[in-house]
A and B are shown apart, each in its own frame.
Chain A
Amino acid sequence: KNEVEQSPQNLTAQEGEFITINCSYSVGISALHWLQQHPGGGIVSLFMLSSGKKKHGRLIATINIQEKHSSLHITASHPRDSAVYICAVSSPGGSGGGADGLTFGKGTHLIIQP
């Protein structure tokens, strides 16, 4: 079982819809990251959070430490939001390696149709 599980794997929605991507993890963490990856490979960090909720523009990220669960929401979705969204956890000493011990989920491939 992967330490970080995302759902759904693929999501196609119409422009304007409210989008939710879920992430569950099985290890103790110091922080959870939501990342966005566009075709061509570049990854952009969207959020880094260890509790509660963060909001940036139309994006909202929440985390429930007790339930080991996080969600990424996109309000008023737009075709430019089409990308792969990756959940990753910082777990020092975990399988992710490095001082930040970052372990990644497989990503959710989101397509927003006009």
Chain B
Amino acid sequence: DTGVSQNPRHKITKRGQNVTFRCDPISEHNRLYWYRQTLGQGPEFLTYFQNEAQLEKSRLLSDRFSAERPKGSFSTLEIQRTEQGDSAMYLCASSLSPSPLHFGNGTRLTVT
């Protein structure tokens, strides 16, 4: 069990650029979640996969956001045409329900 891995740890980008984050969950975990966390707030749900199927998306996930989990393994979260309001910590978590979620260390995005 190597834990949930997220890359990169930090990303600084200019407004309007596209960014992509990667999450490698614990290998046997079938559920994968993406969350967004802004300063002083708890994480907010973005989207959820069970195996390769994206089963739910939050209304927070605008058309500029897309997430994939090909083959039910790693997942990517892409933000197109980034805005300053996208600056946040993006957290990935995985689980083999009903076990607790295992979180990665997050990717901190700064949009200048």
Expressed in whole angstroms, the minimum distance between the Cβ of A47 and any Cβ of chain B is 8
Q: How would residues 86 to 114 of chain A score, 1 for a CB under 8 Å from any chain B CB and 0 otherwise?
A: 10100000011111101111110000000
- Is B89 touching A41 in the complex (CB atoms < 8 A)? yes
- Residue tally, chain B, CB below 8 Å to A: 31
- Is A100 touching B95 in the complex (CB atoms < 8 A)? yes
- Is B42 touching A86 in the complex (CB atoms < 8 A)? yes
- Is B42 touching A88 in the complex (CB atoms < 8 A)? yes
Are A44 and B42 CB-contacts (below 8 A) given A98-B33, A99-B50, A100-B95? Answer: no
Expressed in whole angstroms, the minimum distance between the Cβ of B25 and any Cβ of chain A is 14
The listed residue with most B CB atoms (<10 A of its CB), out of A35, A98, A100, is A98
Tell whether B74 is near chain A: CB-to-CB under 8 Å. Answer: no
Tell whether A48 is near chain B: CB-to-CB under 8 Å. Answer: yes
The listed residue with most A CB atoms (<10 A of its CB), out of B41, B44, B45, B102, is B45
Contacts from A to B (Cβ < 8 Å): 4, 31, 33, 35, 40-45, 48, 86, 88, 95-100, 102-107
Lowest 9 CB-CB distances: which A-B pairs, in order?
A104-B42, A98-B48, A41-B106, A97-B45, A43-B103, A45-B100, A42-B105, A48-B100, A106-B42
